Structure 1
Amino acid sequence: MPYNIAMVSDNFFPQPGGVESHMYQLSSKLIDRGHKVIIITHAYAGRTGVRYLTNGLKVYHVPFWVVYRETTFPTVFSFFPIFRNIIIREQIEIVHGHASLSNLCHEAILHARTMGLRAVMTDHSLFGFADAASILTNKLLKFTLSDVDHVICVSHTGKENTVLRASLDPLMVSVIPNAVVAENFRPLSYHSHNARRHSAPGPPQPLGPHDTITIVVISRLFYNKGIDLLIAAIPRILASHPNVRFIIAGTGPKAIDLEQMIERNVLQDRVSLLGPVRHEEVRDVMVQGHIYLHPSLTEAFGTVIVEAASCGLYVVCTRVGGIPEVLPNHMTEFAAPEEDDLVAATGRAIAKLREGKVRTELFHNQVKQMYSWTDVAQRTEIVYDEISGAFSYDEHGQDAGVGAARSTTRSRAGVQSFALIDRLKRYYGCGIWAGKLFCLCVIVDYLLYVVLEIFAPRSRIDIARNWPKKDCRNGKEKDADAVKAGATVGRKRSSRHRREKRAEPDES
Structure 2
Amino acid sequence: MNLSTQGYLSLILHAHLPYVRHADRDDVMEERWFFEAMTETYLPLLLMFDRLHRDHIPFRITLSLSPPLLAMMEDPLMSERYEAYLMQHIQLSELEQERNQSNPEFAALAAMYTQIWTELYDYYKLCGRQIIAKFRYYQDVGCIDIMTCSATHAFLPFLKHEVSIKAQLMVGVLEYERHFGRPPRGIWLPECAYTAELSPLLQTAGLQYFVVDSHGIEHASPKPSRGLAAPVMTVDGIHAFARDPESSRQVWSSREGYPGDPDYREYYRDIGYDLGWGDAEEWEYIKPYVLSNGARIHTGVKYYRISENEQEKKPYNPVWAQHKAAEHADHFLYCREQQIKSYQSQCDRKPLIVSPYDAELFGHWWYEGPLWIEALFRNPRNQQGTFAFITPEDYLREYPVSEQVDIPFCSWGRNGYAEVWLGQENDWIYRLLHQAEDRLLHTMQHHSTNLWGHTAVAERILNQSIRELMLAQSSDWAFIMDAKTVPTYAAARTEHHLKQFHELNDMIEHRFYDLEHLERMEHHAACLASVHYELFTSSLSSPPPMLLPDAYAMDARSTWRYRKVLMLAWEFPPLVIGGLAKAVFDLSRYLVDQRIEVHVITRSVQGSPSYEQMNGIHVHRVNVLQTTTPIDFMDWVFQLNLAMSDYAVLLMESGHRFDFIHAHDWLVHYTAKDLKDYARTPLIATIHATEYGRNHGIIEHDVQRRIHQMETDLTAIADQVIVCSNAMVSEVQSLFTLPPSKVSMIPNGVEIASFEQNLSEYHHANLRLQYAAPHEKILFYIGRLVYEKGIHILIKALPHVHSSVPNAKLIIAGTGPMKAELEALAARLELTSHVTFTGFIHDDTRNDLLQLADVCVFPSLYEPFGIVALEAMQSGTPVVVSDTGGLAEIIEHGVDGYKALPGHVESLAWHVTEVLLHPDIADNMAVNALRKVEQRYDWKSIAVSTKQVYEGVIMR
Normalising by structure 2, what TM-score? 0.36
Shift of 1:316: 0.8
> Are 2:794 and 1:230 equivalent residues in the alignment?
yes
Matched, 1:274 2:838: yes
Query: Structure 1 CA distance, aligned partners of 2:948 and 2:823?
Result: 48
**Deviation, structure 1 residue 22:** 1.4
State the distance in 1 between where 2:911 and 2:733 align.
Answer: 32
| Aligned match of 1:364 | 930
Partner of residue 183, structure 1? 753
Identical columns (%):
24
Partner of 1:81: 646
Question: Corresponding residue for 1:254?
Answer: 818
Match of 1:379 in 2: 945
Structure 1: how far apart are the matches of 2:751 and 2:933? 10
1:138 and 1:165 in contact (8 A); partners too: no
Q: Distance in 2 between matches of 1:10 and 1:159?
A: 23
Task: State the SS of the aligned residue for 2:658.
Answer: coil
Establish whether residue 132 from structure 1 lines up as the match of residue 696 from structure 2: no
Native 8 Å contact 1:6 1:92 kept in 2: yes
Give the SS at the match of 2:918.
Answer: helix
Q: Report deviation, 1:356.
A: 6.1
TM-aligned CA deviation for residue 283 of structure 1: 0.7
- Cα 1:356–1:170 change in 2 (3 A) is closer
| 1:65 Cα deviation after fit | 5.9
CA apart distance, 1:246? 1.4
Cross-structure match for 2:859: 295
- In structure 2, what is the equivalent of residue 464 of structure 1? none
**Paired residue for 1:423?**
none
Closer/same/farther in 2, CA of residues 138 and 278 from structure 1, 3 Å limit: same
Pair 186,309 (structure 1): closer, same or farther in 2 beyond 3 Å = farther
- Whether the 8 Å CA contact 1:214–1:246 is kept in 2: the answer is yes
Displacement after TM superposition at 1:352 (Å): 2.9
Query: For residues 341 and 349 of structure 1, what CA distance do their matches in structure 2 show?
Result: 13
What is the one-letter code of the residue matched to 2:717?
D
Question: 1:157 aligned to 2:727?
Answer: yes
Q: Match for 2:737: what amino acid?
A: S
Other structure's SS at 1:111 match: helix
Following superposition, the deviation at residue 147 of structure 1 comes to 1.8
Displacement of 1:58:
1.5
CA–CA distance in 2 between the matches of 1:232 and 1:370? 34
For 1:149 and 1:26, the matched residues in 2 are separated by: 19
Gaps of 5+ in 2: 1-551, 553-561, 761-773
How much has 1:286 moved relative to structure 2?
A: 0.8
Does 1:218 find its partner at 2:782? Answer: yes
Which structure has more helix as a fraction of its residues? 2
**Shift of the alpha carbon at 1:281?**
3.0
Alignment equivalent of 2:580, drawn from 19, 28, 31: 19
Q: 1:262 to 1:326 in 2, by over 3 A?
A: same
Counterpart for residue 505 of structure 1: none
SS at match of 2:935: helix
> Residue 40 and residue 355 in structure 1: after superposition, are their counterparts in 2 closer, same or farther (change >3 A)?
closer
Q: Aligned-pair distance for 1:255?
A: 1.5
TM-score, normalising length from structure 1?
0.67
Report how far residue 318 of structure 1 moved. 0.8
Does the CA-based 8 Å contact 1:94-1:120 persist in structure 2?
Answer: yes
Q: 1:319 to 1:301 in 2, by over 3 A?
A: same
Distance, in Å, in 1 between the alignment partners of 2:923 and 2:569 is 43
Separation of aligned partners in 2, 1:68 and 1:358: 50
Give 3-state SS (helix, strand or coil) of 1:74's partner.
helix
Aligned CA distance change for structure 1 residues 268 and 231 (closer, same or farther; 3 Å): closer
Query: Given the superposition, is the C-alpha separation of residues 117 and 359 from structure 1 closer, same or farther in structure 2, using an over 3 Å criterion?
Result: closer
Q: CA deviation at 1:185?
A: 2.7
Task: For residue 45 of structure 1, report the CA deviation from its aligned partner.
Answer: 2.9
Q: Distance in 2 between matches of 1:33 and 1:259?
A: 45
Contact 2:591 2:943 in 1 (8 A): yes
Contact 2:645-2:674 at 8 Å conserved across structures: no
SS for the counterpart of 2:910 is helix
Deviation at 1:377, TM superposition (A): 0.9
1:130 shift after superposition:
3.7
1:66-111 CA deviation, whole Å, 9 max, x = no partner?
A: 97899942256564322211234332221101123x2x24422442
Query: Does the aligned pair in 2 maintain the 1:221–1:251 contact within 8 Å?
Result: yes
* Structure 1 CA distance for aligned equivalents of residues 909 and 792 of structure 2: 13
Assess if the C-alpha contact under 8 Å between 1:317 and 1:334 holds in 2: yes
- 1:346 aligns with 912
Partner-residue secondary structure (3-state), 2:753 = helix
What is the Cα deviation at residue 44 of structure 1? 1.9
Inter-CA distance 289–187: structure 2 relative to 1 (3 Å threshold): farther
Q: Which residue of the other structure, out of 570, 574, 583, is the alignment partner of 1:10? A: 570
Structure 1, unaligned stretches of length 5 or more? Answer: 191-209, 390-414, 416-508
* Residue of structure 1 equivalent to 2:885: 321
Q: Which has the higher mean CA deviation after the structures are superposed, 359-368 or 145-154?
A: 359-368
SS at match of 2:638: coil
Q: Is the 8 A contact 1:10 1:70 kept in 2?
A: no
Q: How far apart are 1:38 and its partner, in Å? A: 1.0
Counterpart CA distance in 2 for 1:69 and 1:44 is 17
Q: Which amino acid aligns with 1:7?
A: M
Other-structure match for 2:604: 43
Which is further off, 63-72 or 240-249?
63-72
The answer to which structure, 1 or 2, has the higher relative contact order (CA under 8 A, 6+ apart) is 1
Contact 1:287 1:311 (8 Å CA) reproduced: yes
- Rounded to whole Å, the distance in 2 between the matches of 1:355 and 1:144 is 45
**Conserved 8 A contact 1:335-1:342:** yes
Aligned to 1:286: 850
3-state SS of 1:3 partner? strand
Shift of 1:311: 0.6
Per the alignment, residue 469 of structure 1 pairs with: none
> What is the CA-CA distance between 1:384 and the residue it aligns to?
1.0
Aligned equivalents of 2:824, 2:812: Cα separation in 1: 14
- The CA deviation string for residues 375-432 of structure 1, in whole angstroms up to 9 with x for no partner, is 111111111111112xxxxxxxxxxxxxxxxxxxxxxxxx4xxxxxxxxxxxxxxxxx
CA 1:160–1:175 in 2, change beyond 3 Å: closer, same or farther? same
Which residue type is aligned with residue 173 of structure 1? V
Deviation at 1:357, TM superposition (A): 6.9
Cα distance in structure 1, aligned partners of 2:609 and 2:677: 27
Task: Find the aligned partners of 1:110 and 1:223 in 2 and give their Cα distance.
Answer: 34
Q: Secondary structure at the match of 2:860?
A: coil
Separation in 1, partners of 2:912, 2:873: 16
For 2:872 and 2:793, the matched residues in 1 are separated by 20
Task: Give the structure 1 partner of residue 870 of structure 2.
Answer: 306
**Structure 1 residue identity aligned to 2:943:** A
Pair 354,371 (structure 1): closer, same or farther in 2 beyond 3 Å: closer
Q: Which amino acid aligns with 1:112?
A: K
**CA apart distance, 1:217:** 0.5
SS where residue 178 of structure 1 aligns?
A: coil
